[in-house]
Structure 1
Amino acid sequence: MTSTNVKELLKGNLLLQEVTVNGWVKTFRSNRFIALNDGSTINNIQCVVDFESLEEGILKQINTGAALRIIGTLVESQGKGQNVEIQVKEIIVHGGADPETYPIQPKRHSLEFLREKAHLRIRTNTFSAVMRVRSALSFAIHQYFQQNGFYNFHAPIITGSDAEGAGEMFRVTALSDKKPPLTDAGEVDYKEDFFGKETNLTVSGQLEAETYAMALGKVYTFGPTFRAENSNTSRHLAEFWMIEPEMAFYDLDANMDLAEDFIKNVIAYILENCQDDLHFLEKRLLDEEKSKPQTDRSPMPLIEKLKFVTDNSFKRVSYTEAIDILRNSKPNKKKKFQYLIDEWGADLQSEHERFLVEKHFKCPVILFDYPAKIKAFYMRLNEDGKTVRAMDILFPGIGEIVGGSQREERLDVLKEKMAALGIPEEELWWYLDLRKFGSAVHSGFGLGFERLVLFATGMGNIRDVIPFPRTPQNAEF
C-alpha cells in the first residue's frame, strides 16, 4: 500500500482523504494520542485512536520507539499545536519497543549519554535535525560545484604521501602483526607489503586533485580523510569529510572570490530549505544558554549568525595587518588572550581569529599572505621571500573554517622548499611533473565538512555532527 510521509501530510493537501503513514512512536498519551514521526521533518503528526476499537494486544505494543503503520482519515485538528491530524482506522505494528529497555525516552538526554547510543540517537529531535541539515549541506555543495563547471574527482583513500607534512597518519598494511618481514637492518620491510611500499590513509586529496585540475580545469573532492592525532577536543575527529576544490588558472584573488561565493551559497541553501530544523536548533541553543553565566552566552542566535555570513561581504586582511591589530588590541595589552601576540610570525589561535571577526571587523574575515614558515610546502612563495599566497576564512564562534592557497607552480622554487623541509623528491616525483609539463597558476582550498555542519547547526562538539564519530579510544558502531 502506498504511504505518504509526515512532511507531506502536514501540508494539509490530502484533507478528508484516507492516508497511510509509517513511522516511529514519539509519545502515546492517554491511550488515545500517538505522536508519530518518520524522519522527514522535525514535526510529528498526531494520530487519534479510539482505544476501545483496538485489540488489547496491539494497544500494549504502542510504546515510545515502536514502528507502526497507521491508516486513517486526515482531518483538521481539534486541539492545539497542529493544523491536521489522523483519525485512525487501523494500526499495524511493524516492530515494538520494550519500554523498560528502550533508551531514547521522551525526556532530555545528555549529549554524552547519546554518544554512547549513537545507533539510536538519530531518533531524537536534536540529532534528526542536525543530520537533515548535514544532508542538505552535502546536496548544496555538490549542486554549487556542478552548476559552476566543476567535475567531481574521487581522490584515493590509500596513499603513500603525506600532503600536510604532519606525519599523523594511519598506516595501511597487510603484513603480519606478529612476524612482519624485516630488512637486514631489522626494520619492517614494506617492500614485502601489499603495495610494495609504506602506505597510509589519506589526510587530504589535494595533491591528487591538482593533477586533475591541470587537465580538466576545475575539480573538487568530497570524501573521507583521516588524522591519527591523539586529540580529545571538541573540534577534532580521527575520521572526517573534506571538500577540496582545485582550479587551474586561478590566482589567490580568484580563489578567495570563489570560496566566499561558495560558502555563502551553501549556507543560503539551508536557510531557505531547512527552516523548521534551524528554528528548532536555535531554540535548543537559546534554552541551553539560559543556564550559563551571562558572560558565556553566545553573542548571536543561530539563524542571525548564519545570515551574518550570507549578508556581509568578507573583509580581506593581510596577516601582517591582522598581527598589528591583535598586538595593539585591548585583550592583548591587558593579557586577556591565552596566547599573547608579541611578534610577527605567530600562529594565530581561535581566540585571535574570533576577536578579528566578532569584535574588530564585525563581519567574516579572509586573512591572506601568511608567513611561509607556518604554512605548507606547496603554497606559492611571495616576492618578499617571507610570506606565501595562503588564505584562511574566519567565522564567528568557530574561527577558521576554510584554508587555501595559490599553489607553487614554479619547479625550481618548489624543489627548494621541499629540500629545506627534507621532503624527498622521489616521493612526489609525479607532483613535480605537473611543474615540468604545462605548468600554470592554480589554486584551491579545503573545507572540513563537519566544521561547516558544526557552524550551521550551533552544536558545541564535532562528535555530534557526524553519524558515528571516530576519536581516540573510540571506534564503536
Structure 2
Amino acid sequence: MKMNKIINLLSRNKSENNIEVYGWVKTFRANRFIAINDGSTILNLQCVIDFEKTDKSVLKRITTGAAIKVIGDLIESQGSGQKFEVKVNHILIIGDSDPDLYPIQPKKHSLEFLREKAHLRIRTTTFNAVMRIRSVLSFAVHDFFQKKNFFYINTPIITGSDAEGAGEMFKVTTQNYNTNNDVKEDFFGKETHLTVSGQLEAESYAMGLGNVYTFGPTFRAENSNTTRHLAEFWMIEPEMAFFNLNDNMDLAEEFIKAVLEKLTLKCEDDLLFLNNRYLNEQKNKPSNQRSEMDLIEKINFVVKNSFKRISYTEAISILKNSKPNKKNKFKYKINEWGVDLQSEHERFLVEKHFKCPVIIYDYPTKIKAFYMRVNDDNKTVRAMDVLFPGIGEIVGGSQREERLEVLKKRMKELHVDENELWWYLDLRRFGSVPHSGFGLGFERLVQFSTGMSNIRDVIPFPRTPQNASF
C-alpha cells in the first residue's frame, strides 16, 4: 500500500478506498474526530474513528503530538471546512506523546515561548507555514538564477578577509582560551574568522564564469538583541561581469519580483493564514504604528509596481523638506547631505512619498565600502539600495571598483590590508572588467513575505547573543 501525503489527498477529485496516511495528531475531539497534519500543507486531514469498535487503550494514546498511521477510506466530508475526510478502518500509534509533558498543546502560545521550544515549534500551524514559504523562496532563488544561466558557487565559510571592513567577526581558532600563542601556531597559521560575506570570492569567479551567485550562511558577531539581527543568517549574492550599475538595478528588481511572484502562486493557503495572523497582530498595535497594507497587499505592492530610482542626493532633498522632518517626527532628523539613512527615512520614501518600492543610488563615498566604484565627482560611489515597505533596505549592491590604483587608494583610506587581499587586487591586474553585484539577506526576504515581526521566527534555529541552543 502506498503512503499518501495529505496535500495530495485533499486535492483529489473523487473518493478512494483503502488509503494509507501518516501524520501527527493536532486535535482529538469527542473520541471520534482526529485532525492530523504531515507538514505537506497547512490544512489538516480529519480522520473519523468508530470509538465503539476501537480498543480503549488505543483511544487513550491518540493525544496531541502523537504520530499515527491511518488506513481507511477517503470520502466526501459530512461537515464543513474540508472537502474530504478519512473513515478510519485501522489505526496504529507509531510514536506516543505524553499530554502532561508535550509543550505544544492546542492553544495559543507566545512566540517567545516557542523560541525556547525551537525543536518542536515546527509542529505549530504558524511555523509550518513560515518554513514552507522559506523553502519555496529558497527554490525560487535558485530557479531564477539557473534559468538566467548563472552558476552557483560555494564560497568559504572560514576566511582570512573581512569583506565589509566592519570588524564584527567570529574568530576561528584551535588554540586554548587565555593563551598568548603565536597565531602562526594556530591551525591555519594566520588569524581566521567566519565569513561575513562571500562577495569578494564570488567576484573572482565572475571574472571567469561571467555570471555567478552564492547562497549560503554568513556570520556577524554583532551584539544586537533586536528583531532585525541574527548572528547567523543566509545571504544571496550574485556577481556579474560586464554589468554596470543600471544593469545591476535591473537585475535586482527582476529577481525580487520573480521570487515573490513564485511565492504567490505556490503558497496561497499559507499566505492566507499568515495574512489573517498579520492583520490580527496589527490590531494590537497603536493606530500610528499599523501598516496601511495587509501582508498580501505588501507582496503585490512589490510585484506589481515599477521600482522608483532616485539618487541619494535627491532622497536627501526630499527627506529634508518633508513634513516629518520639519516637524521633528523623525527620530533621526535629516540636516545635511552625507548622513546614513535610517529605516524610518527609507520607509517614508517608499510608503508615503513615492508609494512604490524605491532604489536609491550614488551614495556618499564616506559611508560605503572600499570595493564600490568611485564616481567622477569623487564624492559618491556607484552603490544602490532597494527599499521595501515595512522594513526599508532589503538589498544592497554596487558596481565594483575595477581600477587597480583607485581600489588601492580606497583600501588605504579605510585601513584595509593590501597584503591580506593581494588576490583581490590581482583581479584588477589581469583582465579587469566593469562588474557589479548585490547582496540580499534571505531571512529579511522571508520576514517580509511572512509578516513575522521578529527575524528569529523565520529561521529554524536562530543564533543570537547568549543563545546557541539546539
Q: TM-score range, shorter-chain basis?
A: over 0.9
Partner of residue 426, structure 1 = 419
- The residue aligned with 2:110 is 110
Cα distance in 2 for residues equivalent to 1:18 and 1:191: 67
Letter of the structure 1 residue corresponding to residue 266 of structure 2:
N
Determine the C-alpha separation between the residues in 1 that align with 2:54 and 2:288: 54
Name the SS of the counterpart of 2:4 in structure 1: coil
Unaligned 5+ segments in structure 2 are: none
Q: Secondary structure at the match of 2:436?
A: strand
CA separation in 2, counterparts of 1:178 and 1:423? 27
TM-score by length of 2: 0.99
> For 1:427 and 1:435, how far apart are their aligned partners in 2?
15
One-letter amino acid matched to 1:456? S
Counterpart position of 1:57:
57
- Partner residue, 1:186: none
Q: Structure 1 residues 258 and 243 mapped into 2: Cα distance closer, same or farther (>3 Å)?
A: same
Distance change >3 Å, CA 191–CA 14, structure 1 → 2? farther
Q: CA deviation at 1:176?
A: 2.1
1:220 to 209, 213, 218: 213
- Quote the residue 1:210 is aligned against: 203
Which range moved further: 293-302 or 423-432?
293-302
Q: 17-26 or 242-251: which moved more? A: 17-26
Of 379, 389, 402, which residue of structure 2 is paired with 1:386?
Answer: 379
- Cα distance in structure 2, aligned partners of 1:243 and 1:49: 48
Task: Name the SS for the 1:405 alignment partner.
Answer: strand
Q: 2:397 aligns with which of 404, 412, 417?
A: 404
Amino acid of the residue matched to residue 363 of structure 2?
Answer: Y
Partners in 1 of 2:311 and 2:57 — Cα distance?
71
SS in 2 for 1:17: strand
SS of match in other structure, 1:81: coil
Structure 2 counterpart SS, 1:166: coil
- In structure 2, what is the Cα distance between the partners aligned to 1:425 and 1:314? 37
* 3-state SS of 2:22 partner: strand
Alignment of 1:283-362 (within 5 A): 283-362=276-355
What residue number does 2:22 align with? 22
1:124 aligns with 2:102: no
Cα drift, residue 421 of structure 1: 1.4
How far has the Cα of 1:14 moved from its partner? Answer: 5.1
Q: How does 1:135-214 map to 2 (within 5 A)?
A: 135-181=135-181, 189-214=182-207
State the alpha-carbon separation in 2 of the partners of residues 14 and 431 from structure 1.
Answer: 62
Q: CA deviation at 1:157?
A: 0.2
| 1:4 corresponding residue in structure 2 | 4
Q: Check if 1:240 corresponds to 2:233.
A: yes
Specify the code of the residue in structure 2 equivalent to 1:4.
Answer: N
**Separation of aligned partners in 1, 2:302 and 2:61:** 48
CA shift for structure 1 position 471 = 0.3
Aligned-pair distance for 1:56? 1.4
What is the CA–CA distance in structure 2 between the aligned matches of 1:320 and 1:246, rounded to whole Å? 26
Q: Normalising by the residue count of structure 1, what TM-score does the alignment of the two structures yield? A: 0.98
1:178 CA displacement: 4.7
Q: Deviations over 1:201-236 (max 9, x none)?
A: 000000000000000000000000000000001000
Deviations 1:430-468 (A, max 9, x none): 000000000000000000000000000000000000000
Deviation per residue, 1:71-103 (Å, 9 max, x gap):
000000111111110000000001111111110
Identity %: 70
Structure 1: stretches of 5+ with no match in the other structure = 182-188
| CA deviations over 1:40-85 (Å, ceiling 9, x no partner) | 0000010000011111111110000000000000000111111110
The equivalent residue for 1:69 is 69
